[in-house]
Amino acid sequence: MRVIEGALLFLGGLVFHWLFSTHLSFWGLSPNVLLLVTVGAAATAGPVKGQCLGFAWGLCLDAMSGHVFGANALGFALVAYIVGQLRRQMDVASPPSQAIVAAAFWLLYAVFYSCVGLVFERRFLWPGWLSFLLDPVYSALVAPFAFSAARRLLKT
């Protein structure tokens, strides 16, 4: 990964996450763009690059969050590791498969984040049923664009 492309992907991910969270949310629902691009980066470039980007994005989210510091960074790094290890067994070349992978990992990440809250804050950080059921759908719709951006900027 060249440094300029990596920096563009990192900053672009932050900008689009902010844009979707503030201006393109419907009924308070917004996709976790940084998680989607982390999955795309790990599927494209492997677990190490995906983990590095995911950890940095997670730290940025944790710095802006009022909850457990480091939970997003750890969650993104774990997701990138799993996707990077399984990328040879998963088909993420077509938009429907990218959408399914993104929705599945969004659900796993939401459960992980809630359990981390249970351990460290002594309360289950549940996003709510509406968010738990509909955010994966919204994320699945945005996933092909995130995967495409990761593929273009992380050509290996």
pLDDT at 121: 79
Return d(Cα 143, Cα 77) in angstroms, integer: 18
Mean pLDDT to the nearest integer, 121-148:
82
The 10s digit of each residue's pLDDT in 19-33 is 888 887 778 778 888
The 10s digit of each residue's pLDDT in 71-98 is 889 899 999 999 888 888 877 788 888 8
Entry pTM: 0.86
What confidence tier does 1 reach under pLDDT thresholds 50, 70, 90? low
Helices then strands, counting H and E runs in the chain, come out as 6, 0
Nearest Cα neighbor of 105 from 32, 5, 10, 9 is: 32
* Domain ranges for the chain: 3-153
Mean pLDDT across the chain = 84
* Residue position matching structure tokens 């492997």: 46
Contact 43, 87 (CB under 8 A): yes
pLDDT at 46: 82
pLDDT at 156: 56
**C-alpha radius of gyration, the chain, whole number:** 14
Is the pLDDT confidence value at 150 over 90? Answer: no
Is the pLDDT confidence value at 3 over 80? Answer: no
Under DSSP, the state recorded for 121 is: T
SS3 119: helix
Overall fold of domain 3-153: Arp2/3 complex 21 kDa subunit ARPC3 (1.10.1760)
- Percentage of the chain with pLDDT > 90? 8
